[in-house]
A = this chain, B = another copy of it.
Amino acid sequence: MPVTTTGKVVVMTSGGDAPGMNAAIRAVVRKGLALGLQMWGARRGYEGIIDGVLEPLSSRSVSNIIQRGGTILHTARSPRFLEPAGRAQAAEVLRANGMTGLIAIGGDGTFRGLIRLAELWDGTTVGVPCTVDNDLFGTDCTIGFDTAVNTALEAIDRIRDTASAHDRIFLVEVMGRQAGFIALAAGVAGGAEHILVPETRTDLPAIAKSIAEEQKAGKTSQIIVVAEGDEAGGAVEVGQKLKDLLGVEFRVCVLGHIQRGGSPTALDRILATTLGAYAAETVREGVSGQMVGVVNGQRRRTPLADAVGKKKPVDPAILKLVDILAR
């Protein structure tokens, strides 16, 4: 492996937390140390860098965290970093501390920050995709997505018990402001009768008609999964509109923040381990401005600008399956 960077590398978590952040920190730190790097942690993402809250990390600092939700480094959204003065301060802190690399674990806001920071600082920047939303180009899955889907699925399974016992229709809202990945995966796995995602046009009158037909055919309970960012509205709004169309009552569950926490699934821990290690290798090689990912089972680097700028599509085939299988 060509050694183009030596050094002193900061790792941080930033933006919304996601299950697997700790597993990624562990892999970044231990692989970095194994590659001869000094590893440091910043608390609360860009906030910690701006304030110079940095701490050295040893192999022991990341013991027994692979299974924990949340992040031992804490995370934050940093309004100061959105301002030029904040970014300049961050770059100055990195320089003053002799840092040669920065590994940012987070989602698209985090990576946009990394791109801006690189305008002011010439260290090696690497992004690790970690967000429940799965809306980053350049990796088949983001870290945290599989856990969030399984958490939503468990909730849907519970709600189906009640829906079935009461012969009722439930609307379940899951996370996803821009993207329907969670809704689609949890909906298909939960056997939902309808799934509403931002990527496809939602035709409420058609859905209302289908509900009415299914009820007539004896299907007395139904689950409709709604991505929070669906253009027809969240679950509360969709429920009101369907009620207006059909004259029947819908129950609404908004799953909310429970989808961010909890112990990560095996898939998320393995992905975090793979990508964390790959990020350490990437920073060690001095390859900057990249997000690490796994595409078709292979590790791959994608320029940060593409990772946040290109659109990752949902699988239309699976969406069509819902129409067939839920009958």
Contact = CB atoms under 8 A, between A and B. Distances in A.
Interface stretch (A1-9, A25-33, A201-209): A25-33
B191 A66 contact: yes
Interface in A59-89: 59-60, 64, 66-71, 74-76
A166 B74 CA distance: 6
A192 to B, nearest CB: 10
A96 interface: no
A277 interface: yes
A325 to B, nearest CB: 5
A36 interface: no
A260 B158 contact: yes
A67 B191 contact: yes
Contacts of A146: 266-267
Given A17-B165, A165-B75, A257 B266 contact: no
A193 B297 CA distance: 24
A59 B253 contact: no
A150 B260 CA distance: 18
A270 interface: yes
A302 interface: no
Contacts of A218: 60
A301 interface: no
A90 B269 CA distance: 43
A75 B168 CA distance: 11
A252 B270 CA distance: 24
Contact of A162 (B157, B188, B261): B261
Nearest to A62: B325
Interface string A236-279: 00000000000000011111111011110111011001100100
B297 A162 contact: no
A273 B162 contact: no
A256 B156 CA distance: 12
A124 interface: no
B161 A260 contact: yes
A189 B66 contact: yes
A111 interface: no
A73 to B, nearest CB: 9
A284 to B, nearest CB: 13
A155 interface: yes
Contacts of A256: 252-254
A319 to B, nearest CB: 12
A190 to B, nearest CB: 8
A188 B257 contact: no
16 contacts: A31-B324, A69-B162, A70-B165, A76-B167, A146-B266, A146-B267, A155-B258, A157-B261, A158-B258, A159-B258, A188-B269, A189-B267, A190-B269, A252-B256, A253-B258, A296-B297
Given A17-B161, A31-B325, 12 more contacts: A26-B325, A66-B191, A69-B161, A71-B165, A140-B297, A146-B266, A162-B257, A162-B261, A188-B273, A253-B256, A254-B256, A277-B324
